Amino acid sequence: METLEKKLNIAMVCDPIGNNKSGVVVSTRRFGKLLKERGHNVIFIGARSAEHKEHNYHDDLKTYRYRSLPVPKSGGWNLAFPTIKEMKKVFQEEKIDIVHIILPMSGAIVAILAAKALHIKIVAHSHSQPENLFMDMPKVMQLILGNLWNKYLAWVYSKAELLIYPSEMARALLDKLGRKNQPSLVISNGIDLKEFKPVAIGNFYERFNIPAGQVKLLFVGRLFPEKSVDTLIKAMPYIIEKNKNARVMLAGAGYMRLKLEKLANRLNVDEYVTFLGLISEEDKLLAYNASDIFVLPSLAELEGMVVLEAMACGKPIIVSDAKMSASRHFVDGNGFLFKAKDSQDLAYQVLKLVVDPDLRKKMGEISFEKIKQYDIRKSVDLLEKAYYSTLKRL
């Protein structure tokens, strides 16, 4: 977006920035990088970790890091604990115009209090839902903690001049937590079409010891309860019974990996399941291109960036119809939905594509065409415009 407005100083508050590869961290990095390319000064506020012990630069963006505590079973998330004095000092020295709360963690609380004290405008992004946090707990605890979490989110959102949601489902789900008549906007996380695209896979199969010639299903994401990866593994016996030419590749890390490995072994499908582990961004692109079908069995997604990435690589998609997953809305002639947590229905939908290469090709082409509307540069246009309109609002 061409603009004659002054370039902005923006503080993005995301405690785990640079410490893991979750969707919210990846999205924050991408937005920060592209805003910098447009001439804005973007800084990150995050947590110290074993890998990042001091203030440093991440993606060439200055990152202020503070004392922290690790979050158990989080895949490398740390809670940042700056003081209000420290935060005010950074905001003043950097001449911050906008504080953008990415995640409502401990760092956000301090950033909000400091911003309010300095009369700096706040934008809050919706990247959190209770299902991401409490799904592996007993139902009663899920309800209690979910209600408490929503009350906390309501406090965070009430302090912002603008709320941003990654999907219409997220807005419908969470907009009620904001103030009455509070401005809100839907901005997709988007996808960098210059980065995610069809490419040659080189020796990917050889490096990961994957037999060539099989129809390969791919999952990308954290190995956490809400991702429901066990549903995909449980579908494999039904798939293999009908067609032994299928294999699933699981790209990602998480505390459930050992449990999932044992499940595959118990079901006698371990030879058809490849755990790729936590792979680099370069290998992730190759994994998409090395696959034939992308599968997301997740039960909770406020958007689902991995689906966008797979579509950009021209892949058909199979997504659960879970009511708390916005990813289901990406399925439109380019794949199939299946009943959430129903491994037999997942197998049935997968087999439609496994046995029909022409259908895979056709649906992959539809994915590739549909992804154009999710170009991240369009999202940055909207975000940039939102910043300026927020600053002008009394």
Concatenated DSSP letters of 130-169: HHHHHTTS-HHHHHHHHHHHHHHHHHHHHT-SEEEESSHH
The verdict on 183 and 222 lying in the same domain is no
| pLDDT tens digits along 337-351 | 999 999 999 999 999
Cβ atoms within 10 Å, residue 128: 20
As beta bridge partners, residue 89 has none
Contacts for 252 with CB less than 8 Å, ≥ 6 apart: 219, 220, 221, 222, 223, 276, 277, 278
For residues 101 and 120, give the distance between their C-alpha atoms in angstroms, rounded to a whole number: 12
For residues 70 and 58, give the distance between their C-alpha atoms in angstroms, rounded to a whole number: 20
Q: Report strand pairing: 78-80 vs 68-70.
A: antiparallel
The verdict on 138 and 166 lying in the same domain is yes
The verdict on 19 and 50 lying in the same domain is yes
How much is the pTM?
Answer: 0.90
| pLDDT tens digits along 204-255 | 999 999 998 899 999 999 999 999 999 999 999 999 999 999 999 999 999 9
Domain residue limits at 178: 9-190+375-392
Structural domain contains residue 130: yes
For residues 154 and 98, give the distance between their C-alpha atoms in angstroms, rounded to a whole number: 20
More confident residue, 73 or 212: 212
Contacts for 323 with CB less than 8 Å, ≥ 6 apart: 340
Does residue 2 register a pLDDT over 60? no
Q: Which two tokens stand for residue 300?
A: 């909770």
Structural domain contains residue 382: yes
As beta bridge partners, residue 11 has 43, 99
Buried b (16+ CB within 10 A) or exposed e, 278-314: bbeeebbbbbbbbbbbbbbbbbbbbbbbbbbbbbbbb
* Per-residue pLDDT at 4: 58
Q: Count up the domains in the chain and report the number.
A: 2
* Per-residue pLDDT at 133: 66
The verdict on 171 and 93 lying in the same domain is yes
CATH code of residue 57: 3.40.50.2000
For residues 284 and 219, give the distance between their C-alpha atoms in angstroms, rounded to a whole number: 11
For residues 32 and 189, give the distance between their C-alpha atoms in angstroms, rounded to a whole number: 12
The verdict on 170 and 315 lying in the same domain is no
Mean pLDDT across 69-80: 80
Over the chain, what is the mean pLDDT?
Answer: 92
More confident residue, 208 or 394: 208
* Per-residue pLDDT at 394: 64
| Block residue for tokens 């006698």 | 268
| pLDDT tens digits along 111-157 | 999 999 999 999 999 877 666 666 677 778 878 887 888 888 888 88
Mean pLDDT across 265-270: 97
Does residue 277 register a pLDDT over 90? yes
More confident residue, 174 or 70: 70
The verdict on 307 and 322 lying in the same domain is yes
Structural domain contains residue 4: no
| pLDDT tens digits along 286-303 | 999 999 999 999 999 999
Structural domain contains residue 2: no
Does residue 74 register a pLDDT over 80? no
Q: Where are the beta strands (DSSP E) in 200-340?
A: 215-220, 246-251, 273-277, 293-296, 317-320, 335-338
Q: Which two tokens stand for residue 153?
A: 């989110």
Does residue 1 register a pLDDT over 70? no
